[in-house]
Amino acid sequence: MRIRSWRGLTPVSTSVRRSFPWARVLLIVGFIAILAYLLIPNYFFASADALVQGDLVPVTPIYRARIDQLFVNCDDHVRAGQKVAVVSNFLVQADYQQQLQQAVASESLSQIALDQGVAAARTDAEADEQKYLAANADAQRLQQVFAGYDTAYKSGAIGRFEWESKRADWQAAVALAAGLRDVWQHAQEHVTRVESDNTAKLASDRTAEARVQALATRVGAEALTAPVEGYIVDCKQRPQNVVEAGAPIFDIFSPDRAYVLAYFDPNAIAYAHIDGDVEVDVTGLSKPIAGRIQNVYPNLDKLPPQLEKFFWQHVQWSEFRPVRVALDHVPASDRAQLYYGAQARVKIRIRQTWHPFGLFGFVR
């Protein structure tokens, strides 16, 4: 075909020259890069989604109680010994008050009985004293009579029979006085012992009363304190709720007690060895931290809801093996940034990675 121009007839070709398909090449390269990003790490690492957990410390009442007041909220930081709640139990308090009244009445009756016992012991001791004094006076009188008879016997005025009779009377009176003196001394010791027992019994009763009174006051309004420093988690209770004895009002998460619970595919458990080193990427931390496999649980478990990203991860299609990872050598600055329930990614190296500058082409 020829087209006429002002210079004459110029041949023009109808075929159009095609440009290089850069867009198509870029799409293919991008697709390959995405596949490499998804597949290559899985070739060198066995990885699993995980959550930051911890050995939680519960805050619990020691008896069934009503929550009167809460001073902290979830995620609040608390110090060890800080007051976090006030609980009470008026039924238990009424029971203690009744026990206190019974203890006071029992103490009054015990005081009367003990006073009567002391008075009786003192009366017996006084009677024994009077008996001893009378016997002693009689022994002294018979001693004087015997002295007169002894003088008369020596002068020959009386016979030996009369002298021996008076001497026997005097010795019997001395022996009787000595025996009554021992009885009186024992009676005095009994009085001292009864008074001491009385004092000890009264002190014991008052101690028991004080203990019951303290318990009654305590259950009327007891302050609960944080046993350790950390962050409040698992806030399930509200003021005016009633909790059973030993049931936690909330738990305290301490970063020093933190660990990571990873959910591995059962096929990848073969690479998880106790005390094996792992790499942990925690949400919120700028760089991975080192971890150590502490335990591989034998049970199959479902993935926690916060870790489910795809429909095939639901429990009806997939189950996972929990692996506990200890964080032994985490710097204090990083550990302070750990929070309960943070999402993480745990990686176990299963093959050597290629490095262009490695001496033999591959390095760990």
Of the candidates 183, 230, 282, 243, the residue with the CA atom closest to the CA atom of residue 79: 230
pLDDT digits (tens, 9 = 90+) for 72-82: 988 899 999 99
pLDDT of amino acid 99: 65
From residue 203, alpha-carbon distances to 30, 104, 323 in Å are: 89, 13, 58
pTM as predicted: 0.54
**Which among 184, 149, 142, 179 has a CA at the least distance from the CA of 163?**
149
The backbone torsions φ and ψ at residue 273, rounded to the nearest 5 degrees and listed phi first, read: -115, 140
- Which secondary structure element, helix H or strand E, spans residue 345, and what is its range? strand 343-349
The tokens of 55 are what?
């050995």
Residue 245 has a pLDDT of: 83
Poorest-confidence range of 175-184, 202-211, 215-224?
Answer: 215-224
Instruction: Give the C-alpha distances (Å, rounded to integers) separating 302 from 150, 315, 316, 321.
Output: 116, 5, 9, 9
The residue among 160 and 354 whose pLDDT is bigger is 160
Nearest to 312, CA basis, from 265, 260, 262: 265
- Give the tokens for residue 354: 């290629």
The confidence score (pLDDT) of residue 325 equals 94
8 A C-beta contact, residue 54 and residue 231: no
The CATH number that domain 91-219 falls under is 1.10.287
Residue 241 — pLDDT band, cuts 50, 70, 90? confident
Say what percent of the chain tops pLDDT 90: 16
Residues paired with 69 in a beta bridge: 86
Helix or strand or coil: residue 150? helix
Q: Which two tokens stand for residue 110?
A: 């015990």
Cβ atoms of residues 74 and 294 within 8 Å: no
pLDDT tens for 201-216 read 777 777 776 776 666 5
Q: What is the pLDDT, as a whole number, of residue 243?
A: 83
Alpha helices in the chain (DSSP H): 22-44, 90-155, 160-220, 332-335
Interhelix angle 160-220/90-155, nearest 10 degrees:
170
Query: Is the pLDDT at 152 greater than 90, yes or no?
Result: no
Count of CB atoms situated within 10 Å of the CB of 113: 12
List CB contacts of 184: < 8 A, sequence separation 6 or more.
125, 128, 129, 131, 132
Helix (H) or strand (E) segment spanning residue 19 = none
Give CA–CA dist 193/186, Å, rounded. Answer: 10
Domains 46-57+254-363 and 58-90+222-243 share a fold: no
Amino acid identity at 236: K
**Pairing of β 230-233 and β 353-354:** unpaired
Top CATH class, 58-90+222-243? mainly beta
Q: What is the pLDDT of residues 7-59, one digit of tens each?
A: 555 555 555 566 767 777 777 777 777 765 555 555 567 888 999 999 999 99
3 state SS of 164: helix
Closest listed residue to residue 53, CA positions, set 297, 287, 289, 338:
338
Domain ranges across the chain = 46-57+254-363, 58-90+222-243, 91-219
Pick from 33-42, 123-132, 351-360 the range whose average pLDDT is largest: 123-132
Express each pLDDT in 243-298 by its tens digit: 888 888 989 999 989 999 999 988 888 888 899 899 999 988 888 999 999 999 98
Report the length, in residues, of the chain: 364
Say how many C-beta atoms besides its own lie within 10 A of residue 335's C-beta: 15
Token pair in block for residue 273: 């060895």
Q: What is the torsional sign of CA 6, 10, 13, 14? A: positive
What local confidence, expressed as pLDDT, does residue 103 receive?
65
User: What is the CB neighbour count within 10 angstroms for residue 261?
Assistant: 20
Position 357 pLDDT exceeds 50: no
Q: How confident is the model at residue 101 (pLDDT cuts 50, 70, 90)?
A: low
Question: Is the pLDDT confidence value at 326 over 90?
Answer: yes
Would the CA dihedral through 216, 222, 228, 234 be positive or negative? positive
Tell me which residue has tokens 């159009």: 16
Provide the CATH topology of domain 46-57+254-363. Answer: Elongation Factor Tu (Ef-tu); domain 3 (2.40.30)
| CA–CA distance, 230 with 253 (Å, rounded to integer) | 5
224 CB neighbour count, 10 Å cutoff: 19
Which residues are 281's β-sheet partners? 345
Cβ-contact 259, 327 below 8 angstroms: yes
